[in-house]
Amino acid sequence: MSNIQEVVGKNIKLFRQTKGLTQERLAELVNVSTSYIGYLERGLRSPSLDLLARIGTALDVEPTVLLAGSSEETEPILKKLNALLIGKDPIPINFLYEVAVAYFESLK
């Protein structure tokens, strides 16, 4: 089981990559060094609550999302999907949901 530093680090990296940001750009946005972002992403450091909030703002996610772990079975793809949809307009999200429901119904 991962510790909280690893969970936060993996989430920061996932959301950063999903947003198309480099470590350098994220570091600029939250006013820390690039190496510190690397330490966070590797689970070697823990961000302060203030920094976690700034990272959440820069990545357009609630800071609590960065703290959340998930089960090993669903971890990678669901987190990527969540990262892609966070901050988007509800209308296209609802459309994608309806398409997914229709697709899974067609598999029955």
pLDDT at 108: 79
Q: How far apart are CA 107 and CA 101, in angstroms?
A: 10
Q: What is the C-alpha radius of gyration for the chain, rounded to an integer number of angstroms?
A: 15
Instruction: State the Cα–Cα distance between residues 77 and 35, nearest whole angstrom.
Output: 27
pLDDT tens digits for the chain (108 residues)? 468 999 999 999 989 998 899 999 999 999 999 999 999 999 999 999 999 999 999 998 889 989 987 655 556 777 778 778 888 898 988 899 889 888 888 987
- pLDDT at residue number 1: 43
pTM for the model = 0.71
* pLDDT at 72 (0 to 100): 56
Query: What is the end-to-end Cα distance of the chain in Å, rounded?
Result: 35
pLDDT computed for residue 9 by the predictor:
95
Tokens in use for 24?
Answer: 């350098």
Burial 74-98 (b: 16+ CB within 10 A, else e): eeeeebeebbeebeeeeeeeeeeee
Confidence (pLDDT) at 35:
98
- For the chain, domains (ranges, CATH) are 4-106 (1.10.260.40)
Tell me, rounded to whole angstroms, the distance of Cα 67 from its chain centroid.
Answer: 9
